[in-house]
Amino acid sequence: MDASGLMARVERRWSTTPGFLAEIRSVVASLVPVVDASPELASEGVLERLLEPERVLMFQVPWRADDGEVHVNRGYRVQFNNALGPYKGGLRFHPDVDLDLFLSLAFEQVLKNSLTGLRLGGAKGGSDFEPRGRSDAEVARFCFSFMTELHHHIGAAVDVPAGDIGVGGREIGYLFGAYKRLVGRFEPGALTGKDPVWGGSFVRREATGYGLVYFVREMLRARGDDLAGKRAVVSGSGKVAIYAMEKLEQLGAQVAACSDRGGALVDPDGIDVAIVKRLKEVERTGLAGYLEARPRARYLKGANAWAEPCQLALPCATQDELGVRDARRLVANGVQLVAEGANLPCTADAISALTGAGVAFAPGKAANAGGVATSGLEMQQNAAQQAWTFEDVDARLQAIMAGIHASCRQAAERSGSPDDLRTGANVAGFERVARAMLDLGVV
Between CA 406 and CA 384 the distance in angstroms is 29
Assess whether 124 carries a catalytic annotation.
yes
Phi-psi region of 302 (alpha: psi -120 to 50; beta: other; left: phi over 0): left
- Measured from the CB atom, the residue of 319 and 407 that comes closer to ligand NDP is 319
Q: For residue 351, what are the contacts with CB-CB under 8 A and spacing of at least 6? A: 327, 361, 422
Under rule CB under 6 A, residue 163 binds ligand NDP: yes
Under rule CB under 6 A, residue 113 binds ligand NDP: no
The distance of closest approach from Cβ of residue 289 to ligand NDP in the complex, given in angstroms and rounded to an integer, is: 12
User: Rounded to the nearest 10 degrees, how much is the dihedral formed by the CA atoms of 351, 357, 360, 363?
Assistant: 10
Angle ∠(191,195,201) on CA atoms, nearest 5: 75
CB 252 within 8 A of CB 269: no
Find the catalytic residue in 88, 112, 124, 239. Answer: 124
Q: Name residues contacting ligand NDP, limited to 175-214 (CB under 6 A).
A: 208
Under rule CB under 6 A, residue 238 binds ligand NDP: yes
Under rule CB under 6 A, residue 236 binds ligand NDP: yes
- From the list 114-122, 134-142, 230-238, 411-419, the region that binds ligand NDP by CB under 6 A is 230-238
Between CA 198 and CA 206 the distance in angstroms is 18
Binding mask 362-401 for ligand NDP (x = CB under 6 A): ------x--x------------------------------
Among 260, 267, 378, 420, binds ligand NDP (CB under 6 A): 260
Cβ neighbours of 61 (radius 10 Å): 22
CB 222 within 8 A of CB 304: no
Under rule CB under 6 A, residue 429 binds ligand NDP: no
Indicate the residue whose CB is closest to ligand NDP. Answer: 238
Among 34, 35, 317, 379, binds ligand NDP (CB under 6 A): 317
The distance of closest approach from Cβ of residue 53 to ligand NDP in the complex, given in angstroms and rounded to an integer, is: 18
Under rule CB under 6 A, residue 104 binds ligand NDP: no
Q: How far is CA 262 from CA 95, 247, 272, 343, 409, in A?
A: 16, 24, 19, 20, 37
Under rule CB under 6 A, how many of the chain's residues touch ligand NDP?
A: 26
Catalytic center residues: 124
Task: Give the interface with ligand NDP as residue ranges (CB under 6 A).
Answer: 90, 163-166, 168, 208, 236-241, 260-262, 280, 316-318, 321, 341-343, 368, 371
